[in-house]
Structure 1
Amino acid sequence: MQFGWLTLSLSPSPEEDAARIDQQIEQVCEAERLGFGDVWLTEHYFTGESVYNDALLFAAALAMRTERIRIGFAVVQMPFHHPVRLATQLALLDNLSKGRIDVGVGKGTVYNEYEFVGHGLRSDDSRERMEEAVDILQRAWREAPLSYEGRFYKVQVPQIRPKPVQQPGPPLWRSVISPGSFTDCGRRGIPILTARLPVARIKERWDLYAAGLAEGGHDAATCERLLAQAALWRNVYVAETDAQAEDELSALLLQTRSHMMHVREAYNPPDFTIDPVMLNAWTDPKISDADALPFVLETGCLYGSPARVREQVAELRDVGVRHLLCQTGFGDMDHEQNLASMRRFGEQVMPAFRD
C-alpha cells in the first residue's frame, strides 16, 4: 500500500498563524521521514483552515524543504485561479520539486459560498469556470502558441516557460463522489481522490473505476498504475489505547464541526442555500452533534491503538484500497499531539503494509 499525508487543520487565531505555518512545514518534513509517499494540500480562505491559504506558494516552500515526497493539491479550487497564471505556477513548481507535483482540481466547495464572494464571484457557474480553466491549463502545457476564446477567458499565449518536468504536465486528479464520476474518470484515464466512502461501498466504486478504465481502452500498465493510485481520504488518529483515541478524536472533530458551522452561518450571504442533495449527517446543520459524530467516526475515520488501526487499514486493503491519504490534524490540535499520532502510524502501522 501507499500512504499519503493530508493537511486540513485550523489556526484558531490570526496571532497563531505564523507559528502554525511553521508547524505544518515541520509536519510535512516528518511525514517524509516516516515514509509517507505524498503530501496533499487543501485550499481554503479567510477563516483559519488551510492556514497558509495560498497552497501553491506553500508548496514551493515544501519543495525546497523536502527531497522525495510528492506534493499534491486536494484540491485547487479552479474558479479562484486564472488558468494561464496557474499553468505557469505549476510548471515552476514542477521544476522546483524535480517533477514531484500532483494537481487535484475542483470547482470549489459547495458549502463555503463566502470564499466565492471573497474572490468577487458566486458559485452558480463554478463548474463551467472549472471546465474551461482545466481545458486552458492542459492546452497551455501542450500548445505553443495557444489561442483560446471561451466564455470566461480569451487568451493568446506564445508559450509557457519553464516547461513542466513531467510531460505533458503534472497529473491532474479529480475528486469523485457519485458512482458515475468513478466510471467517467476511469474512461478518461484520470487519477481519482475520494473521501467519506463507507467500507461497504469501496469495492463497488473501485469496480466502477476499473470498468471505466476498460471502456476507455487504456493499456494494462496504465490501468494498473491508475488503480494503484486511486486514493481514499480518511481522518487518522493513533493513541496509546482505543479509548483514549476515541475520546480525543471525538473532541477534536466536534470542535472542527463547530467551527465549520459557525463560519458558514456567519459569512455565507443570506441568499445562498446549499443543495440538500449535497448534505450528509456531518455537514447538515440540522443534525445534532450526537448523531453527526457516530456518522463521521464510522464513515471517515481510522482511530485507536496501533493494533486496532492496523486492523482498520487491513480492512481497507482487503476491499481494494492501495493508496490511503491520512489527515492527522483536526481543529486546533496541538502540534506535538499531531506528531505523536503521525509517528505511531508511521512506525507501528505503515510497516505492516509496505509492498
Structure 2
Amino acid sequence: MKFGIMNLFPVSDGASDHQVLRETLDEIELADELGFDSVWLAEHHFSKYGILGSPVSFAMAVAERTRSITIGTAVLVLPLHDPLRLAEDIAALDVLSGGRVSIGVGRGYQPSEFAGFGIPLEESKIRYKETLDVLRLALSQENFSYHGEVLHYDDITTYPRPFTEGGPPILQGTVSPDSFRERGAAGEPIITSPNFTPLGVMQKNFALYRTAMQENGFDVASYDLPFMQQVWCGDGEDGLREAAQAALNYYRSVGKVIPGSEQAMERERAYYEAVAKNIELLTLEQTLTHGGNFGSAQQVIETIEMLRDQLGINHYIGWLRIPSLDRKAALKSMEEFADKVIPHFRAQEQVAPAAEAVAG
C-alpha cells in the first residue's frame, strides 16, 4: 500500500495567495520527510476555490525541495492545454525529478474555467480525447504526426525527452461505470475520488475495471489503483467535528463552481442537478459518516483496510489539508497519520513475504 497527500490550493479567509503557495510547499517537504509516497496537485483557474493554474510549474519547485516523494497531478484539465507545450513541461519535470512523476488528467467541469480561456464547454470531450492522444504520442514517440477533429500536427518531436522510458504514467480521472469499463479494457491507469458514493456502487465500478483488464490480457496486480478522500486522523470529538465541518464547507463550495442547469451540457444536466441538490441537503453527520475518513488512527486504519479488501485499492491518497481546516490541526493530523497509520501497513507488508517464505 502506498500513501499520498492531496493539495487543492484554496485561499481561505484571512490567507494570501503567497502564503498558500509557500505553506503548501513546506507541507509537501514535511510529507516527504514523514515517509509519504506521493503528493498530488490540483489545477484550477480564476477563483479562490483553487489558485494553482500550473501544477507542473509548481512541481518543479517540489522536485527541488524533496528527495523521494512521487509528484502527481490530480488533475490536469486537458482541454485547457496545448498538448505539445504540456509534454515539454512534463518531460522537463520528469528529468529534474529523476522520474518521480505521475500525471493525473481529467476533462474538467467548471464553466468559468472554460469561459476564461475561450473554450466552449461542449468541446471538452473531443478536446480531452485529442489532447490526451497527442500528449501520449509526444512523451512516448521520438517523432509523430496526428490529425484529429480539432488538433493537427505533422512531423513533431518534443524536447527534452522524458527521463522515464515511454514517459511518466498517465492516470485518468474516472467516475462513470462506462469509463471504468472502457479504461480497464484498454489497460489505462485511473485515479478516483468517489466521496459519498455507496460502497456497493464503488465495488461494481472497480469490478468492471478489473474484469475488463483481465479479459483483455492486462495484469491488474501490476497497476497502481489510487483512491483519494478527505482525511482527519486524531483523537477528540472537537477535532473530529472541526475537520468534518471543514470538509462540509468544502463540499458546499463545490456547489458554487459546478455547472448550473443553464451551463451544463444536455447529456450531463441531470447529473449536475442531482449533485447540486445533494450538496444543498448535506449535513455534518452525513459528512462524518460518508464524506471522508475521519477518526482515530485505528478508525482510519480500519477504513483503509476495508477499501483495500473490498475495492482492491493499493494507493491511498489522503486529503489531509482539508480546505478551511486550521493549518496546525491539519499538520498534526498528517503527523499522526505518518506515525501510526503508515507503519501499520508497512508492518503488514513485511510480515507477508516472511509468511510466504516459511510456507515455501
Higher relative contact order, chain-length normalized (CA < 8 Å, sep 6+): 1
Deviation sequence 1:50-77 (CA, Å, 0-9, x none): 3332111111111111111111111110
Partner in structure 1 of residue 220 of structure 2: 223
1:173 aligns with 2:171: yes
Q: Which one-letter code corresponds to 1:253 in the other structure?
A: A
Q: Distance in 2 between matches of 1:205 and 1:269?
A: 27
| Normalised TM-score (structure 1) | 0.88
Q: Distance in 2 between matches of 1:6 and 1:198?
A: 22
SS in 2 for 1:288: helix
More displaced 10-residue stretch of structure 1: 100-109 or 312-321: 312-321
Deviation sequence 1:171-199 (CA, Å, 0-9, x none): 11111122232222122111111112433
Misfit runs of 4+, over 6 Å: none
SS in 2 for 1:186: helix
Q: CA deviation at 1:8?
A: 1.9
Q: CA deviation at 1:285?
A: 4.4
1:278 aligns with 2:276: no
Partner in structure 1 of residue 161 of structure 2: 163
Deviation sequence 1:76-131 (CA, Å, 0-9, x none): 1001110111111111110011111111111112xx20111011112101010011
Q: How does 1:226-265 map to 2 (within 5 A)?
A: 226=223, 229-241=224-236, 243-262=237-256
Partner in structure 2 of residue 75 of structure 1: 75
Partner in structure 2 of residue 352 of structure 1: 344
1:185 aligns with 2:177: no
Q: CA deviation at 1:24?
A: 0.5
Structure 1 residues 240 and 188: CA distance shift in structure 2, 3 A: same
Partner in structure 2 of residue 194 of structure 1: 192
1:324 aligns with 2:316: yes
Q: Which one-letter code corresponds to 1:259 in the other structure?
A: S
Partner in structure 1 of residue 280 of structure 2: 288
User: Pick from 320, 326, 337: which aligns with 2:329?
Assistant: 337
Q: CA deviation at 1:295?
A: 4.2
SS in 1 for 2:242: helix
Q: How does 1:65-104 map to 2 (within 5 A)?
A: 65-104=65-104
Q: Distance in 1 between matches of 2:263 and 2:14?
A: 27
**Number of positions where the alignment pairs a residue of Structure 1 with one of Structure 2:** 342
Deviation sequence 1:233-289 (CA, Å, 0-9, x none): 111011222x2343112221232234333456xxx78941473443487x4147534
Q: How does 1:209-220 map to 2 (within 5 A)?
A: 209-218=209-218
Partner in structure 2 of residue 142 of structure 1: 140
Q: Distance in 1 between matches of 2:167 and 2:279?
A: 43
Structure 1 residues 322 and 164: CA distance shift in structure 2, 3 A: same
Q: Distance in 1 between matches of 2:276 and 2:34?
A: 36
Structure 1 residues 15 and 294: CA distance shift in structure 2, 3 A: closer
Contact 2:5 2:319 in 1 (8 A): yes
Q: CA deviation at 1:35?
A: 1.4
Deviation sequence 1:267-320 (CA, Å, 0-9, x none): x78941473443487x4147534x354444433411112222222222222212
Contact 2:142 2:157 in 1 (8 A): yes
Q: Distance in 1 between matches of 2:162 and 2:53?
A: 24
Q: Which one-letter code corresponds to 1:336 in the other structure?
A: K
Deviation sequence 1:154-183 (CA, Å, 0-9, x none): 223541111111121111111112223222
Q: Which one-letter code corresponds to 2:325 in the other structure?
A: M
Q: Which one-letter code corresponds to 2:172 in the other structure?
A: R
Contact 1:245 1:305 in 2 (8 A): no
Contact 1:145 1:156 in 2 (8 A): no
Q: Distance in 2 between matches of 1:322 and 1:55?
A: 24
Contact 2:139 2:167 in 1 (8 A): yes
Contact 1:13 1:48 in 2 (8 A): no
Contact 1:9 1:330 in 2 (8 A): no
Contact 1:194 1:232 in 2 (8 A): yes
Contact 1:79 1:130 in 2 (8 A): yes
Partner in structure 2 of residue 56 of structure 1: 56
Q: Distance in 1 between matches of 2:238 and 2:313?
A: 27
Structure 1 residues 318 and 270: CA distance shift in structure 2, 3 A: closer
Sequence identity percentage = 30
Q: Which one-letter code corresponds to 1:311 in the other structure?
A: E
Give structure 2 stretches of 5+ with no counterpart: 350-360
SS in 2 for 1:89: helix
| Normalised TM-score (structure 2) | 0.87
Contact 1:94 1:100 in 2 (8 A): yes
Q: How does 1:3-42 map to 2 (within 5 A)?
A: 3-12=3-12, 16-42=16-42
Structure 1 residues 14 and 238: CA distance shift in structure 2, 3 A: closer
